[in-house]
Amino acid sequence: MSPGHYTELFFLDEPTALAAGHRPCACCRRADYQSFAAAWARAFPAKTEAWAAAQIDRMLREKTPPLVSPLRDLPDGCIVEAQELECSLWWRGKLFRWSHAGYGAAYAVCAKTCVRCVTSAPMVEVLRAGYTPWPPHVSVDTFT
C-alpha cells in the first residue's frame, strides 16, 4: 500500500470488505462513512464521544477472537463459516455461498445453528448498531 494514500484494494461487495476489516472510505464515500462512524459510536459508546477514522482503523486492526453465534442472532451482512467451513453471506434470513465471482444459490440452515463469523466481532457490533452495508453483489438478486 502507498503510505498516506487510499487503500488500493477492491472487494466483491461491501459485506466482503467489512469481513476483511475495512470500513467505508471517509473521502469518496463520505455519507456511508458518517453512517458507519455513527453506528460505531452507538456500538462502542464508552470509548469516546466522536470516533476518528484513525481510531476506528486502529481498533479494526486489533486481533479479536472469532465470534461464534447462532445465525438468528446475527445482523444482515455478516460473512460466516457454515456447512463444511464454506464462507457464506448471511442476508435476509438466508445463506449464500461466497466466491470471488459472486454468490451461489441460497441454502437453508436452521437459524439456531451456531456459526463462526469471519466478520470480526467489532464489525458485527457496528452492523447490529444499525450500519447497513451496500446490498451484496448482484448475484444474490439472482437467487432471492
Q: Is-above-0.75 flag for pTM? A: yes
Sequential DSSP letters for 113-141: -EEEESS-HHHHHHHHTT--PPPP-THHH
List pLDDT tens digits, range 51-92. 788 889 988 999 889 999 999 999 999 999 976 668 999 999
Q: 33: pLDDT confidence band, cut at 50, 70 and 90?
A: very high
Q: 43: pLDDT confidence band, cut at 50, 70 and 90?
A: very high
Cell of 105: 444459490
Asked if the model's pLDDT at residue 4 lies above 80, the reply is: no
List pLDDT tens digits, range 92-127. 999 999 998 899 988 888 889 999 999 999 999 999
Q: Where does residue 68 rank: exposed (0-12), middle (13-18), buried (19+ CB within 10 A)?
A: exposed
Cell of 8: 488500493
CA distances to 60, 73, 85, 96 from 42, in Å: 16, 18, 31, 28
